[in-house]
Structure 1
Amino acid sequence: MSDRDKGHILLVDDEDMVRQSTAQWLKLSGFQVDSYATAEEALAILDNTFSGVIVTDVRMPGMDGLTLMSEALVKVPKLPVILLTAHGDVDMAIKAMRDGAYDFIEKPFVPERLVETVYRACEKRRLVIENEKLQQNIASQSGIDAKLIGISPAIQRLKREILKLAELDTNVIVYGETGTGKELVAQCLHEYSFRHRNHFVPINCGGIPESLIESELFGHEAGAFTSAAKRRIGKFEYADKGTLFLDEIESMPTHLQIKLLRALQEGVIERLGSNQPLNVDLRVVAAAKVDLREDANFREDLFYRLNVSQLHIPPLRDRPEDAPLLFQHYLRCAAGDHERALRVLSEHDLATLSAYHWPGNVRELKNIAVRYSLDTELSVADILASGEWNTPSKPSYGRPLPLAVQVASFEADIIKGALQRHRGNMLAVMGELDLPRRTLNQKMTKYGLVRGDFVQ
């Protein structure tokens, strides 16, 4: 936000002298100001496209400031409304804050305090609008845009490639780092192909013991081996007329690669313990983290059978503009799943999401979004720094946060601690931290810290 574009203000005061001088001071401070003598005039021009805040006197002829606030919040929920009150109205103003007012300033006021309060309100309004835009963007998505969330050129290019390959019905190798969403890409290839009415069958070649993977793929007859009590339909047979997704195919044992190649070449399989050939018609989408051509343990002939087409999923660090959008999506999912209110991302949270390197890609981001939704005391940087989203079976990635994120997180913790110790007493916090009021207000806005949360 430039120094000359700090926010849009609707100023309402029935006293001409006060209204004009207040408007002039706010304009000189970099705000865009529209001033009105009556609440009715201001309310008439207000709609849900308004991106600023209201500053209004409380006692006015006709509609008073409290009624204006009530009506304005119906039109524009979460709209910051700052009340200008006389000394005798303070108790009433405190009640109004419980009813939704952003803040109140007692007359006669120091102009600098008004500017600081208005600035914080405009910052809050900007963050609310930014979060709403993220939510609207997600809600308005349809088709493949609702499945593969992102606005970056890299993810848009991937969507176009998926839709093109879906129509060709060729085998595909999907390359991508852990957590990038290889199975989701495979599902999209299936859902936008003519095979979409039949089964999409995933199998993780690295997650099944070598002694069982052949049975998983091709099935078995009763008595085929010791624990085979009854006939089992394998993944190949179950995926007939549909799509078989082979994740981590680089981990498939060599002897099974030979059987897989034969099944793909001839379109025929046999269950373990049977001599009866079964015809299968399916599309195979394989996923790998490494280039299969460079893997000495992967058969070259199988590679060429699978490698009719390729897709490469970009890591999240190469598309940082997608991180806030993805985080908002998983935040909404977590809030719905756990019946929690949807948290509003602070400026610091948004900056952290875009600055972080995301070694665990979208899977890591999803886990952090769930934690963030459930623990309202923690910022995104707090969770990233702690590494607590890692499960016991998955070690921390160990790579430090960017310096700017670490410094900001440290600063936020110091300010939060001072607010807790002084129970929201701003003068005491300013004294302890040796910060002017304006600087403290700006930093509190940046880190999503609200004075009222610390007042007892």
Structure 2
Amino acid sequence: MPLPEKMPLALIEDDEIVRQATSQWLQLDGHQVLEFADGESALNQLPPDFPGIIISDVRLPDIDGMALLPRLLERHPEIPVILITGHGDVDMAVKALRDGAFDFVEKPFDPARLLQTVARALETRRSQTAQQDRHAYLAQAEGLEKVLIGRSEAMVRLRQQLLKVAAIDTNVIIYGETGCGKELVAHCLHQFSTRNQREFVPINCAAIPENLFESELFGHEAGAFTGAVKRRVGKLEYADQGTLFLDEVESMPLNMQVKVLRALQENTVERVGGNRPIHIDLRVIAAAKEDLHHHPEFRQDLFYRLNVAQLYLPPLAERSEDILLLFDHYTHQVNPDTRLPSPSDQQALMRYPWPGNVRELKNIATRFALDPSLTVGEILASRPNLTTEPSSATLPLAIQVQNFERKVIHECLQRHHGSIIDALEELDLPRRTLNQKMQKYGLSRSDYT
């Protein structure tokens, strides 16, 4: 479902003059405001799927904000609730933060301060709503869409092309960068083909020593060479009636390319040390990182034999709208209760260039799901500084600062086992500031006690 560009704000304030003035400030800032003079009216009139945020005074005629808060959160568990408090209500408001309030603003308040808090709450709400939308998509996905996940135009087109190619019993070349999921696509071609009841046989051409390549593909007879104590069926023969997947096919030695070409042309193989041709009927799917047509060490006659159909897998950087969707999918696989990535986490995910593509994203998502103390920025910053991967310096300065600040507060709370008083003394912060930062970074005292 598309996300609303402007989320509504529910304003609960019994003082009509204050309510009207506050509503006017919010409307001038471009917000749609729903006004309520008391808590019960808001509870009765706000729908369960209210898509916005709630701003409520603590002092109300029928029910005070402290009693209203749990009732609001019971009906709207994820909704950000901002409390407006008088000076004497600050301790009460701090307690409300522990009970689930998003933040509080003291009276008399600067409109700019309120608008900043509202902006943060709306950003959090948008993140929640977007994640709910992504989870709904993942839950409803079926068939090929459940395996090749993505709503980007590139992924929609890939799924359409794959189903067409799968139905035609012909050889295919899959192009894509490392980590894009070429073997997964090859497996889908097999599963959606008429050969899906027979074997899918993958072989990585770059991982086989050259002196073992022929035996691996064609098999051998007993006694064919030293160590060949019994007959072995090769990959081509084993894939008979099914699908052979040649990953990193550009790494296949030239002398083997000739033999593979002949086997595909004649539909026969001969085991090493044998004389009897064995008939095979298989479909070959090859995967490569570079264009085989212009590869200096790849035979053009073999290229034309394989290149009956082509599929191109876009790198993750070319389908950025799928990044958060895939991140949610992989974190949920590891831990269904994984915390919501914060706005800064999401910014870090969207800014990172993903040289390792989906494989790298899965690794980051797994670490995020397994260690609640880490932010995405910290995980990315801790990765090896290889020439193919950027260091933390590629992250915006603001995110690096936030990551460092969160780490300092997290480690302080760990040392003091969640004691706020001890943390305040060590960090030399006002209590209100520490509470705001803990709320901002998703840190809860209960996680450390």
Partner of 2:143: 143
Deviation (angstroms), 1:208: 1.6
CA distance in 1, matches of 2:82, 2:293: 65
Runs of at least 5 residues in structure 1 that lack an aligned partner in the other structure: 431-436
| 8 Å CA contact retained: 2:406, 2:441 | yes
Is 1:355 aligned to 2:351, yes or no?
yes
Partner of 1:409: 399
Name the CA shift for 1:8/1:230 in 2 (closer, same or farther; >3 Å).
same
Partner of 1:434: none
Deviation (angstroms), 1:204: 0.5
| 8 Å CA contact retained: 2:355, 2:389 | no
Name the CA shift for 1:16/1:291 in 2 (closer, same or farther; >3 Å).
closer
Further displaced range: 282-291 or 141-150? 141-150
Report the residue type matching 1:75 in the other structure: R
Deviation (angstroms), 1:54: 1.4
Partner of 1:54: 54
Is 1:11 aligned to 2:1, yes or no?
no
Is 1:449 aligned to 2:441, yes or no?
yes
RMSD of the TM alignment (CA)?
3.5
Report the residue type matching 1:383 in the other structure: I
Q: Deviations over 1:57-86 (max 9, x none)?
A: 345455553443323323322111223445
TM-score between the two structures when normalised by the length of structure 1: 0.81
CA distance in 2, matches of 1:167, 1:46: 51
Query: What pairs with 1:177-192 in structure 2 (closer than 5 Å)?
Result: 177-192=177-192
Deviation (angstroms), 1:143: 2.0
Deviation (angstroms), 1:245: 0.3
What fraction of aligned residue pairs are identical, expressed as a percent?
51
Deviation (angstroms), 1:158: 2.1
Deviation (angstroms), 1:276: 3.9
Partner of 2:363: 367
Q: Deviations over 1:247-303 (max 9, x none)?
A: 111212233222212221222223334444332221100111222232333223222
| 8 Å CA contact retained: 2:378, 2:403 | no
Q: Deviations over 1:77-118 (max 9, x none)?
A: 211122344566555544443332223445565555444433
CA distance in 2, matches of 1:51, 1:91: 29
| 8 Å CA contact retained: 2:268, 2:277 | yes
| 8 Å CA contact retained: 2:377, 2:403 | no
CA distance in 1, matches of 2:400, 2:90: 36
SS at structure 1 position matched to 2:162:
helix
SS at structure 1 position matched to 2:206:
coil
Report the residue type matching 2:344 in the other structure: H
Name the CA shift for 1:219/1:78 in 2 (closer, same or farther; >3 Å).
same
CA distance in 1, matches of 2:408, 2:115: 24
Report the residue type matching 1:141 in the other structure: A
Partner of 1:22: 22
Q: What is the aligned counterpart of 2:388 among 386, 397, 418? A: 397
Name the CA shift for 1:428/1:7 in 2 (closer, same or farther; >3 Å).
farther
Deviation (angstroms), 1:246: 0.5
Partner of 2:380: 384
Deviation (angstroms), 1:7: 4.8
CA distance in 1, matches of 2:37, 2:94: 24
CA distance in 1, matches of 2:97, 2:42: 20
| 8 Å CA contact retained: 2:383, 2:391 | no
Deviation (angstroms), 1:203: 0.7
TM-score between the two structures when normalised by the length of structure 2: 0.82
| 8 Å CA contact retained: 1:382, 1:409 | no
Partner of 1:172: 172
Is 1:159 aligned to 2:159, yes or no?
yes
CA distance in 2, matches of 1:370, 1:175: 26
Report the residue type matching 2:348 in the other structure: T
CA distance in 1, matches of 2:350, 2:93: 39
Further displaced range: 104-113 or 179-188? 104-113
CA distance in 1, matches of 2:206, 2:408: 50
Report the residue type matching 2:354 in the other structure: W
Deviation (angstroms), 1:148: 1.9
CA distance in 1, matches of 2:273, 2:75: 71
| 8 Å CA contact retained: 2:348, 2:399 | no
SS at structure 1 position matched to 2:233:
coil
Is 1:219 aligned to 2:219, yes or no?
yes
CA distance in 2, matches of 1:233, 1:156: 39
Name the CA shift for 1:292/1:119 in 2 (closer, same or farther; >3 Å).
closer
CA distance in 1, matches of 2:440, 2:263: 58
Partner of 1:344: 340
SS at structure 1 position matched to 2:190:
helix
Name the CA shift for 1:202/1:42 in 2 (closer, same or farther; >3 Å).
same
Partner of 2:120: 120
Further displaced range: 122-131 or 79-88? 79-88
CA distance in 1, matches of 2:300, 2:109: 79
SS at structure 2 position matched to 1:173:
strand
Partner of 1:245: 245
| 8 Å CA contact retained: 1:180, 1:316 | yes
SS at structure 2 position matched to 1:201:
strand
CA distance in 2, matches of 1:113, 1:178: 47
Query: What pairs with 1:254-333 in structure 2 (closer than 5 Å)?
Result: 254-333=254-333
CA distance in 2, matches of 1:308, 1:204: 21
Deviation (angstroms), 1:36: 1.2
| 8 Å CA contact retained: 1:162, 1:189 | yes
Deviation (angstroms), 1:228: 3.2
| 8 Å CA contact retained: 2:173, 2:309 | yes
SS at structure 2 position matched to 1:11:
strand
Partner of 1:33: 33
Report the residue type matching 2:307 in the other structure: N
CA distance in 1, matches of 2:232, 2:19: 81
Name the CA shift for 1:312/1:61 in 2 (closer, same or farther; >3 Å).
same
| 8 Å CA contact retained: 1:269, 1:279 | yes
CA distance in 2, matches of 1:451, 1:116: 21
CA distance in 1, matches of 2:29, 2:161: 50
Runs of at least 5 residues in structure 2 that lack an aligned partner in the other structure: 413-421
Report the residue type matching 2:388 in the other structure: Y
CA distance in 1, matches of 2:116, 2:259: 72
Deviation (angstroms), 1:321: 2.6
Report the residue type matching 2:323 in the other structure: A
CA distance in 2, matches of 1:140, 1:60: 43
